[in-house]
């Protein structure tokens, strides 16, 4: 989701500073995607905060239910951002898992 959010920023012509990278991407995605995608962005922000605790505070568990939900939200976020970029600029289609043609 971080990379897809970063791709969204790049597609809009913005570059990211190092400070507060994850939070900046969440806020940017919220401002670009708007109300229609608010729940997905809020879930993304929740997962961002959860990841921080998981990585830097040992002993904070992540349940199977949370992990499964996180994967579903990430897939939805990737699909929505990919569709937005494709609709706005078809020449910028994202092709996952394929190598550039020579």
pLDDT tens digits for range 65-99: 988 988 898 898 888 888 888 888 766 565 666 55
* Torsion on CA atoms 64, 69, 75, 80, rounded to nearest 10: -170
Q: pLDDT per residue over 45-63, tens digit each?
A: 888 888 777 777 777 777 8
Q: Which residues contact 67 (CB under 8 A, 6 or more apart)?
A: none
Distance CA 102, CA 75 (A): 29
- The separation between CA 42 and the C-alpha centre of its own chain, rounded to angstroms, equals 11
Copy the structure tokens of residue 7: 């791709």
Can you tell me which residue has the tokens 């996952």?
96
pTM of the model as a whole: 0.67
pLDDT of residue 85: 84
């Amino acid at each position: 989701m971080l990379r897809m959010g970063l791709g969204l920023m790049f597609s809009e012509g913005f570059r990211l500073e190092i400070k507060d990278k994850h939070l900046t991407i969440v806020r940017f995605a919220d401002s670009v995607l708007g109300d229609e995608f608010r729940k997905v962005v809020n879930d993304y922000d929740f997962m961002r905060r959860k990841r921080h605790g998981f990585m830097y505070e040992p002993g904070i568990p992540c349940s199977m239910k949370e992990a499964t939900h996180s994967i579903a939200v990430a897939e939805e976020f990737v699909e929505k951002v990919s569709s937005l970029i494709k609709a706005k600029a078809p020449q910028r289609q994202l092709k996952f898992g394929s190598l550039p043609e020579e």
